[in-house]
Amino acid sequence: MQAPTFTEIAVVGMYFRDREGVPATELVAGFIPPVQLQFERDFYNQYDENAIKVLYQGQHIGFLEAAQAIFLAPWLDDGHNYELTVTDMQVRRKNLHPIVTATPLPMEQKQADE
């Protein structure tokens, strides 16, 4: 079965990363879409069993919002691979958030990456 594309996913939690010494909000403020991001499942997250970390140039900058991660996580757990692209920047509650699209990679590309 072809994995679905997920759109309009906000990256959240950047302000918590700032408190941990990672200048996530500063990095994000410089994004001009499109920007490629990386992500990985966070199986040991005590707050969200479906947590998906978002990384920029290998640096953990935040998480995919939980309301969307719950749908994407099972596809990742099932071995599907995605490309994560910032498509927009939105202000929500006075905070700037990258808005991303998770596009499934073709199965042959997934296999080549493994």
Query: Which of 33, 103, 95 minimizes the C-alpha distance to 62?
Result: 95
Other residues' Cβ atoms within 10 Å of the Cβ of residue 70: 15
What confidence tens digit (pLDDT) does each residue in 37-57 have? 999 999 999 999 999 999 999
Summarize the confidence of residues 65-78 as an average pLDDT: 96
Return the DSSP state at 31. Answer: -
pLDDT exceeds cutoff 50 at 81: yes
- Rounded to a whole number of angstroms, the distance between the first and last alpha carbons of the chain is 19
Buried b (16+ CB within 10 A) or exposed e, 1-28: eebeebeebbbbbbeebeeeebebeebb
